[in-house]
Structure 1
Amino acid sequence: MRAAAGRLRHGVATKSENAIHGLPRARHTFALGSSRSKAGACKAYRRCLQRRCKATLLVQATASPMVTSDLGPAPTPPPTEPVEVEYDTFQVAPNVQLLRGSCRAERLKYEVEYGLKRGTTDNSYLITSPGAVVLVDVPYEAYKEKFVEALSAQAPLPSLTHLLITHLDPKAIPTLELLLLTRRNQQRQQRQQLQQQEGGQQEGQAVAPGAAAAAGSPGSSSGSGGQGEAPPLPPLQVVLSNPALKLLESTLGSPPPGSPSLLSGVQLQVAGRSGAAVAPCGPEPGDQLQVFLAPTPRWPDLLLSYDPANRILLSSKLFSAHVAPRDKPYDEGGWEALEEDWRYYFDCMLAPSAKQAAAALDKLDLVPVARQSAAQEGELAAAGGGGGGRPRRVNKTSAALRSFFRSLLGLPAPKLSPPAPPTDPASEEQSSSTTASTATATSSLPQLPVCQLLPLHGPLVSSSLAVLLLSYRNWIQQQLQAAASGGTAAVLYASAYGNTAALAQAISRGISLGGVAVEAVNLETASLEEVAAAVGRSQGFVLGSPTLGGHMPTLVSLAMGAILRDPGARGLPCGVFGSFGWSGEAVDEMAGRLRDAGFGFAFEAIRVKFKPTAKDLLLCEESGRALAAAIRKRARSREMAVAPGSRALTASGPQLAMGRLVGSLAVVTARDEDATAAMLASWLAQASFDPPGITIAVKRDRPLGQLLGGGARFVVSLVSEGRQREVMRRLSGPFAPGADRLAGLDTFPSPSVGAPVLAGAASWLECEVAGRLEAGDHTVLYAQVLDGRVVDEAASTAVHHRKVGNHY
């Protein structure tokens, strides 16, 4: 920061630093008056504030360590623990290779999307065609060395002609930097080798003067680059969206003084419209990769790409899952084996952006088609069938099945149109030392027959293609219906290092599980009008911010101003959260301003230092559920009286009959590192003799459900008869987010799982989840019993009796 101030004083400040310090001029212009109208000056002032904040986020996020104005350097974040990664290469189509980096660790990062703890993969793809070698995506920085090594083994880096970036994460910038640097070094080595070869040829010509005449015209050996110089290699075409372009230019576009920019040999091509053709992908002239814009608040730069030669959709973040298959790249085991992983990823990452996800699928009129066998692909290739290995044409059965699915979901009939023409390279605009061009496309999009989905994470989707496409539609419809019936919560946030975004993601998941839809708003990309509109549509909101320089960023302050000016927002339940490196003043400042304005909070302010832990993420999920409960409570026009028999008066005959079902009363506990959860359960039953197994029903909005994924271990303490009143009194009441549900009860850790066991229980069981079944508003778990003990031989298990089956 001091260096930035020095550059400003000497008139050599960077563009982002000028934006930071450009505010006084806008204020001065407004104060003195000018030819612009007052409204125009106000708009210019707001734009200047937004530019100042975005530039501040950039400078603060790239400064190490962060410098505050009052407290000095912030404490250094704890170093990222190294993770072991593996790299494999698979042939997934005749000219398409998968470069898969696998992380076998339970979590690559502490974010809620890795909650199932089954590892993950970062998938990149290499598409070769006559005259073009296209690389699709670069992985997370933990994979960078092995990725560049694996890529170099498949194709020389100077031979790359295109790089398609469907999503650019800041954590992938080091990988991209290493790729460009290694490619430049290999190009330099190639030039030197060519120059040495040409020098040797010239010496041979000096010894044998007739050699040149025998070889042909003079100078024929020098090529197009001139005598003694290697011909220049064509620049690498990098295709990406506009938000990704801004991130790329802000990180790699401004090298240190005296160092050449890694983007100097790169031609940047901005995908401006869906359906644009950006790169060759097959032998035919019409075989061009098409890109589709699919932005979401979490991923404003998201692109999807379609390969018509192989009928493959490179789906980026869509249809991903955090699971690391070991041997094969495809969805081995089918829907039954991977449903939970796909659904969990959707709930974490796409449920808060259901409208944007629906819009992305609407752009892609996908038609599932069958893949050909390897023998058929070989026959086509041997027969010279022009693009051997292409999938079969769409048949009438596939079209009829697809029409049935569309009518079942109430979707409109698609409109057909020819594919978009390729982008004309002559229309590219020159900018500084790089070139940026905007791809064009037709207004309406064609049907896209697809036989494979190639996501950014997890297995490739082939055998489960049709059911996954249909399930995505159903999951999106569920979120949209929740918005219509249960209301919507706006999650507004800005994030400098990604930690506040991780908290927003966990809160959003809790809100969704609470039966309320989520509208996520990234303040770094949204305008003030969009912020005000999102709050106006919502029935509650949360606001998240990092702490930069001892204060909240200007973008967050502007968003708060828009909320405070909205008279309709005053009665909405709300909450605040944020991460920090020193003392977290931004969270206290947000809470204080909202409290002074008369807003009511659904949960206590969440303050996390550096990266969130498992306990922090669980607290965020519980807080999201608390906000959802406050929204539902506020939406009820009249509260049902809490009195004995009041629910029985409105219960139906089947519900009254179900009330006679009884179950053993138990306390279920689970532990994940520093996070512990517990709940009271009575829907518990034995399910099998060999192996010994039980079933337990868990309501979807229970915090414990986060810790009970497939393979998770937990403990069941069966309550002794005579103690049920005390246990029910302590575990049945409402709890604040993060509260210890076992406070006041004696417990001890189980020997293997380590989760709390209720002291004085009749017996306890250590179990492992072996199967899950989504059953309405509950999830039924089948668990195998690993160990167990009888604590009191004389004690009987307490049984829970009810009179009606519409509540516990």
Structure 2
Amino acid sequence: MVAVAEKVQRRLTMQTVEIAPGTTAIRSLDWDRDRFDIEFGLQNGTTYNSFLIQGEQTALVDTSHEKFRQLYLDTLAGLIDPTQLNYLIVSHTEPDHSGLVKDILALAPQITVVGSKVAIQFLKDWLHQPFQSRIVKNGDRLDLGNEHVLEFVIAPNLHWPDTIFTFDAKTQTLYTCDAFGMHYCDDHTFDEDLDLIEEDYKYYYDCLMGPNARSVLSALKRMKELPEIEIIATGHGPLLHHNVPELVGRYRQWSQEQAKAETTVAVFYLSDYGFSDRLSQSIAHGITKSGVAVEMMDLRSADPQEVKELVSIASGLVIGTPPTTGDAATTTQTAIGTILAATNAKQSFGVFESGAEDSESAYQLVNKFRDLGLNPAFPPILVKEAPHEETYHLCEEAGTDLGQWLTRDRTIKQIKALDSDLEKALGRLSSGLYILTTKKGNISSAMFASWVAQASFKPLGISVAVSKDRAIESLLHVGDRFVLNVLEEGNYQGLMKHFLKRFPPGSDRFAGVKTYPATNGSPILGDALAYMECEVKSRMDCGDHWTIYATVSVGRVSKPDALTAVHHRKIGNHY
């Protein structure tokens, strides 16, 4: 039986569903949220999923976001007297899943909190109160009675260092928290319509799991040791039941592709300090867009030998400056020392400062790397207050710049190596010259484009190919708006030269360029021959490019008799 609360003004609702014998999903539906965690845009809201398993004893798997406090606690009380709860399983301590742990402890002081060693330590540092706890390792079991035997799978870095999965042998349900989830909010509890959710599933993987591909593969290997899995009870979005083999297989394929990358960047951060985890995830996402693998490591829980090994295989290093005082200072400063000792002069590096007043100056750390002969890939990113959307976009751009810098030689080599008749024939496809401009919130961006074509009459639509490692790519998701500026034959060199140059992360792409705003807010270039206002309707994965399909609503030509500038290539393996 499904019970859905009446929608309130903020569109926060609750849903309870019996998903298996003795097992209830408690889903907090956040219908209108358009930003999440590391500030990746959301098209369809999100959910925070919690689960109640009732045998002879009762376990609650995760809680919810604090914004749902009263809704969640009232819903839980309608299912069970909190004083009858025996265990609270904390899959990981990220606040969107553990935001109500303190409330549960207040209602159920007798409860035993179950988690990984790192999770229990994080909770002790955070809660500052005594509580009963049980640390579990990989393969440990907890018998709730009535055949509900829970087996724990250690799955660190998915996407926090303290993550565990929980498998219930009776219902063949695997509780995975962030892994295999997606930010998608609707009343459907399960994945009935794969076509409806697969874009959000892939986007979620790219943003949160892709930077931890090797950790994903390790978790998948441990999952193979479990009996057959019927349900994957995720922490966000619909639960997986109808397409479990298919969607698990996609994780495996995507992660294997990431792990095979020739170049790796090590990203070091602190999961519970300032904004370090969020900034690091944005940088890591930018790196992976360039086809470079990422290995993320929490400085607080990092083993010195693992730090050495990771630094030894990395072509690039990104470090969030740690605190110089407090409980974590000694551990994190030791880890920084280990990183510095293991570097070599061929590596590139980047440094960000996550906002606390007592953090070591980013410039001091930059100077230490410079003294060792390493090359900075981007200027230090200094964040002294709560990050804004522009901050996360800056971090993503910095990561992409680092990835492109590390792969530049390989890219040039590949271009020179491909010179067959096929590439020469492909190069004879001519195309026009355009500048695509967009503005989303306070972020504006632009790119020089040539792979543009009309795609439909009804509705009027165009297609644009956008390389996956373009900074503007993250501003061109379904629902986003842009302007396509058409360049004029014989009068395009100035604009082409300006928009083809490399821009430092976060810089103004339109400095010195005459523009005026379109009705959709995007910049129109004053020297363009024509412009069209567009809205993204769909995206298709085309290998190293996204093909964007957009409808056109407004357009104008400034010189009716002028012609569009045309681009001719000699070879088709690069622009």
TM-score normalised by the chain length of structure 2: 0.92
Counterpart Cα distance in 2 of 1:558 and 1:609 = 24
Matches within 5 A, 1:452-467: 452-467=231-246
Q: Deviations over 1:126-184 (max 9, x none)?
A: 1223x233211111222222111111112221222222221122565551111221345
How far apart in 2 are the matches of 1:101 and 1:314?
A: 16
Counterpart in the other structure of 1:244: 119
* 1:111 aligned onto 2:38: yes
Distance in 2 separating the partners of 1:750 and 1:584: 43
Q: Relative to total residues, which structure has the larger helix share, 1 or 2?
A: 1
CA contact (8 A) 1:547 1:579 kept: no
CA–CA separation in structure 2 for the residues paired with 1:663 and 1:524: 52
Structure 1 CA distance, aligned partners of 2:260 and 2:370?
32
1:716 and 2:491 matched: no
Instruction: Confirm or deny: 8 A CA contact 2:486 2:564 kept in the other structure.
Output: yes
Alignment of 1:366-445 (within 5 A): 445=225
Quick check: 1:315–1:453 contact (8 Å CA) kept in 2? yes
Contact 1:547 1:580 survives alignment (8 Å): no
User: What corresponds to 2:149 in structure 1?
Assistant: 288
2-structure distance, mates of 1:717, 1:301: 48
1:93 aligns with 2:27: no
CA distance in 2, matches of 1:677, 1:757: 12
Picking from 774, 778, 783, the partner of 2:545 is 778
Counterpart residue identity of residue 456, structure 1: G
Aligned to 2:435: 667
CA distance 1:160–1:676, change in 2 (3 Å): same
TM-score of the aligned structures, taking structure 1 as reference length:
0.66
Task: Choose the corresponding residue for 1:748, options 489, 513, 516.
Answer: 516
Write the distance in 1 (CA, Å) between the matches of 2:72 and 2:472.
Answer: 38
Structure 2 residue aligned with 1:349, among 202, 208, 212?
208
Q: 1:677 aligns with which of 445, 451, 456?
A: 445
Structure 1 residues 582 and 136, CA, compared in 2 at 3 Å: closer, same or farther? Answer: closer
The alpha-carbon deviation at position 581 of structure 1 amounts to: 4.5
Judging changes above 3 Å, is the alpha-carbon distance between structure 1 residues 624 and 480 closer, same or farther for their aligned structure 2 residues? same
Q: 1:788 to 1:465 in 2, by over 3 A?
A: farther
Question: Equivalents in 1 of 2:396, 2:98: separation in Å?
Answer: 30
Unpaired segments of 5 or more residues in structure 1?
1-81, 185-234, 256-260, 366-444
1:654-699 Cα deviation digits (max 9, x unpaired): 1111111122221112222222221111111111111111111111
Counterpart of 2:312 in structure 1 is: 536
Contact kept? 1:693, 1:782, Cα under 8 Å: yes
In the alignment, what sits opposite 2:228? Answer: 449
Please list every run of at least 4 consecutive aligned residues from structure 1 whose deviation after the TM superposition is greater than 6 angstroms. none
Match of 1:322, SS state, is coil
Q: Which residue of 2 aligns with 1:146?
A: 71
Question: What amino acid sits opposite 1:277 in the alignment?
Answer: R
CA RMSD of aligned residues (A): 2.5
Q: In structure 1, give the amino acid aligned to 2:531.
A: W
**Map of 2:461 onto structure 1:** 693
Letter in 1 for 2:51: Y
Cα drift, residue 539 of structure 1 = 1.0
1:246 match: secondary structure: helix
**Structure 2 Cα separation of the partners of residues 801 and 458 of structure 1:** 46
Question: Is residue 387 of structure 2 the alignment partner of residue 612 of structure 1?
Answer: yes
1:45-56 residue pairs with structure 2 within 5 A? none
State the Cα distance separating 1:496 from its structure 2 match.
4.6
**Residues 151 and 297 of structure 1, relative CA distance in 2, 3 Å threshold:** closer
Q: Which residue type is aligned with residue 319 of structure 2? A: L
Give CA deviations for 1:220-247 in whole Å, capped at 9, x if unaligned.
xxxxxxxxxxxxxxx4233211111112
SS in 1 for 2:260: helix
> Residues 90, 791 of structure 1: CA spacing in aligned structure 2 closer, same or farther, 3 A cutoff?
farther
Cα deviation 1:386-422 (Å, max 9, x = unaligned): xxxxxxxxxxxxxxxxxxxxxxxxxxxxxxxxxxxxx
The amino acid that maps onto 2:197 is L
Q: Please give the alpha-carbon distance, in whole angstroms, between the structure 1 residues aligned to 2:538 and 2:396.
A: 23
| CA deviation profile, 1:455-484 (whole Å, cap 9, x unmatched) | 0011112233222111111101111111xx
Distance in structure 2 (CA, Å) of the matches to 1:165 and 1:174? 11
User: Where do 5+ consecutive residues of structure 2 fail to align?
Assistant: 1-8
Query: Per the alignment, do residues 158 and 511 of structure 1 end up closer, same or farther by CA in structure 2, a change over 3 Å counting?
Result: same
Contact 1:297 1:521 in 2 (8 A): no
The one-letter code sitting in structure 1 at the alignment partner of 2:170 is A
Determine the structure 1 residue equivalent to 2:249.
Answer: 470
What is the CA distance between 1:95 and its match in structure 2?
2.7
| Greater Cα radius of gyration, structure 1 or 2 | 1
Write the letter of the residue equivalent to 2:44: R
Q: Is the 8 A contact 1:110 1:613 kept in 2?
A: no
Q: 1:634 to 1:583 in 2, by over 3 A?
A: farther
2:383 alignment partner, SS class: strand
Q: Count how many residue pairs are aligned between Structure 1 and Structure 2.
A: 566
Maintained 8 Å contact 1:770/1:782: yes
Structure (1/2) with the larger strand percentage: 2
Query: How far apart are 1:495 and its partner, in Å?
Result: 5.0
Separation in 2 of the partners of 1:621 and 1:104? 26
- Aligned equivalent of 2:142: 278
Q: Summarize the alignment of residues 328-367 of structure 1 with structure 2, pairs less than 5 Å apart.
A: 328-334=188-194, 336-365=195-224
Within 5 Å, which residues of 2 pair with 1:485-496?
485=262, 487-494=263-270, 496=272
SS in 1 for 2:484: strand
Relative to structure 1, is the Cα distance of residues 84 and 734 closer, same or farther in structure 2, using a 3 angstrom cutoff? same
1:302 pairs with 2:167:
no
Q: Does the aligned pair in 2 maintain the 1:686–1:695 contact within 8 Å? A: yes
1:803 to 552, 570, 573: 570
Q: Which amino acid aligns with 2:297?
A: V
Q: Deviations over 1:15-56 (max 9, x none)?
A: xxxxxxxxxxxxxxxxxxxxxxxxxxxxxxxxxxxxxxxxxx
Cα deviations by residue, 1:478-510 (Å, 9 ceiling, x for unpaired): 11111xx2x111111235545121111111111
Equivalent residue in structure 1 for 2:177, among 309, 316, 323: 316
The residue aligned with 1:219 is none
Query: CA deviation digits over 1:427-477, x for unaligned, max 9?
Result: xxxxxxxxxxxxxxxxxx34x222222100111122332221111111011
Measured against aligned partners, the alpha-carbon deviations of 1:263-303 in whole angstroms (never above 9, x if no partner) come to 2xx4x2221222x321437x4x4x41222111127422211
What secondary structure, in the 3-state scheme, does the structure 2 residue paired with 1:449 have? coil
Which of 109, 113, 125 is the equivalent residue of 2:51? 125
Distance in 2, Cα, partners of 1:168 & 1:564: 29
In structure 1, C-alpha distance between the alignment counterparts of 2:338 and 2:112, rounded to whole Å: 41
Contact 1:162 1:279 in 2 (8 A): no
SS at match of 1:723: coil
Q: Aligned with 1:468: secondary structure?
A: helix
Maintained 8 Å contact 1:718/1:761: yes
Change (3 A) 1:332 1:759: farther
CA–CA distance in 2 between the matches of 1:584 and 1:561?
15
> Does structure 1 residue 516 correspond to structure 2 residue 292?
yes
